[in-house]
Amino acid sequence: MSAAHAAAGLALAVALVTPHAHAGQNCVEKPPSTEQIRRSLDLAVKTVRWLDASGAKLVVIARRGQNLDRYGVRYSHLGYVYRDEAAKAWRVVHKLNQCGTAESALYRQGLAEFFSDDLFDFEAALVVPTPAVQDALRPLLQDNDRAAVLHHKPYSMVAYPWSQRYQQSNQWALETLACAVEPGACDRTRAQAWLQFKGYQPTTLNLSAGQRLGARVGTANVAFDDHPSARRFSDRIDTVTVDSVFTFLQHTGLAGTPQTVR
């Protein structure tokens, strides 16, 4: 086991006792309100009911952690939820930025924890992959070492999809999908090549020089130096969004239509 794999495995193991991890957000030390807790638990219960009724063993899951409406993006964060038969429970495996720093780790959580991360809106999106994709992803995600094969610790919220300098949360999920579906694509270079071959199209955000400077100065978890200069200086920032992953899954026939739980 490599040091990187060991570290990722440790992060997975201690996820339930590590409170300070967020999907691209700066950490704010404030306890959740009673209403937030109630709504988080309510969404978790409704999602479990949906998952149980779906008959699926693994589902792509997303949440609205941040308000991205001004960018035309609805969901901010992506993960995989699978049925743990031994525990008779659903588990989410996903990547989180650590307290607004430039680093990240992988986590395995229950649905209550997944929905308790200071959500902008209490809404989940769920996409059922084909049985073949479920069978490929589920054993990979249940194994700490295999789940961490494509994890890259340096983090930027707007990581460029075709660079390997950083890796954001949705990017890890997408590259891990490539590894599961195409076993020869289990390093980042090959995973990204497979995604390009299959026609994945990232979301282009229009960010002015002032917005980029403000984001870069204000937070450690945002960087633009992995983006091509020509696109960056024309205010076009390409990155992996949940919405673009959903579109890719449908266009390639790897999964069905997103469903919503509120």
The string of DSSP codes covering 12-49 is HHTGGG----BSS------PPPHHHHHHHHHHHHHHHH
Residue 205 has pLDDT above 80, yes or no: yes
For residue 40, what are the contacts with CB-CB under 8 A and spacing of at least 6? 32, 112, 115, 116, 119, 122
CATH code of the domain containing 222: 3.90.1720.10
What φ, ψ does residue 162 adopt, rounded to 5°? -110, 25
- Of 21-25, 143-147, 199-203, 227-231, the range with the lowest mean pLDDT is 21-25
Q: Is 127 helix (H, G, I), strand (E, B) or coil?
A: strand
Count Cβ atoms below 10 Å from residue 251 Cβ, excluding itself: 12
Residue 194 has pLDDT above 80, yes or no: yes
Q: What pLDDT, on the 0 to 100 scale, is given for residue 219?
A: 72
Q: Is 129 helix (H, G, I), strand (E, B) or coil?
A: strand
Question: Which is higher by pLDDT, 31 or 86?
Answer: 86
Give the number of domains in the chain.
1
Which residue has 């790897």 as its token pair? Answer: 254
Which residue has 């870069």 as its token pair? Answer: 216
Percent of the chain with pLDDT strictly greater than 70:
84
User: What integer is the mean pLDDT of 120-130?
Assistant: 93
User: What integer is the mean pLDDT of 195-204?
Assistant: 97
Domain span at 191: 3-261
The model's pLDDT over 137-158, given as tens digits with 9 standing for 90+, comes to 999 999 999 999 999 999 999 9
Residue 208 has pLDDT above 50, yes or no: yes
The model's pLDDT over 16-74, given as tens digits with 9 standing for 90+, comes to 333 345 554 455 556 778 888 898 899 999 999 999 999 999 999 999 888 787 778 89
Asked if 123 and 260 count as a contact pair (C-beta separation under 8 A), the reply is yes
Residue 1 has pLDDT above 60, yes or no: no
Q: What pLDDT, on the 0 to 100 scale, is given for residue 213?
A: 57
User: What integer is the mean pLDDT of 100-127?
Assistant: 90
Torsion angle (degrees, nearest 10) of CA 181, 185, 186, 190: -150
Count Cβ atoms below 10 Å from residue 167 Cβ, excluding itself: 24
